[in-house]
Chains A and B, each alone.
Chain A
Amino acid sequence: MTFDEQDLRERLKAVAGHAGPPRFTVERLIGRIRRRRARIIGLVLGSVLAVAAIAVAVPISLSGQGTPPIARPAVVPFSPSFTVRVNGQSGMHPRGGRIPRFAVSPGEQLRISIGVTVPAHARVTALTPRVTALWLGVSGDVLGTPGDMRPILARTRKPLIPGLHTFRLRWTVPAGLPRGTTRYLVANWEAKQASVAQFIAELVRRR
Chain B
Amino acid sequence: MASWQQTLAELARDQAGSLKRQAFLLCGDDGQAEDLVQDALVRAFARPLRAPRPGAAEAYVRVIMVNLFIDIARRRSRWRRVAPLLGGAEVAPDPADQVLTREVMLAALDDLSPRQRACVVLRYYQDLPVAQVAAALGVGEGTVKRYLSEAMTRLAARLSPAGNG
Contacts and interface: CB of A to CB of B under 8 A. Distances in A.
Interface of A: 1-3, 5, 7-9, 11-24, 26, 29-30, 32-33, 36-37, 40-41
B42 A32 contact: yes
A22 B33 CA distance: 9
Given A8-B155, A22-B20, A30 B102 contact: no
A24 B33 CA distance: 12
Given A3-B155, A3-B160, A18-B102, A13 B125 contact: yes
Contacts of B46: 33, 36-37, 40
Interface stretch (B8-16, B63-71, B135-143): B8-16
Contacts of A8: 120, 124, 152, 155, 159
B124 A30 contact: no
Contacts of B55: none
Interface string B12-38: 100011011111110000100110011
Given A12-B25, A29-B42, A36-B46, A23 B34 contact: yes
Interface of B: 5, 8-9, 12, 16-17, 19-25, 30, 33-34, 37-38, 41-42, 45-48, 101-102, 105-106, 109, 120-121, 124-125, 127, 152, 155-156, 159-161, 163
B8 A29 contact: yes
A30 B125 CA distance: 29
27 contacts: A2-B160, A8-B124, A12-B105, A12-B120, A12-B124, A14-B101, A14-B102, A14-B105, A16-B24, A17-B21, A18-B102, A19-B17, A19-B20, A19-B25, A20-B34, A22-B12, A22-B19, A23-B34, A24-B16, A26-B5, A26-B9, A30-B5, A30-B8, A36-B46, A37-B48, A40-B47, A40-B48
A26 to B, nearest CB: 5
A173 to B, nearest CB: 28
A22 B125 contact: no
For the complex, would chain A's binding face be called helix, strand, loop or mixed by DSSP majority?
helix
A19 B125 CA distance: 14
Task: Give chain B's interface secondary structure class.
Answer: helix
B21 A16 contact: yes
Given A26-B12, A33-B8, A16 B125 contact: yes
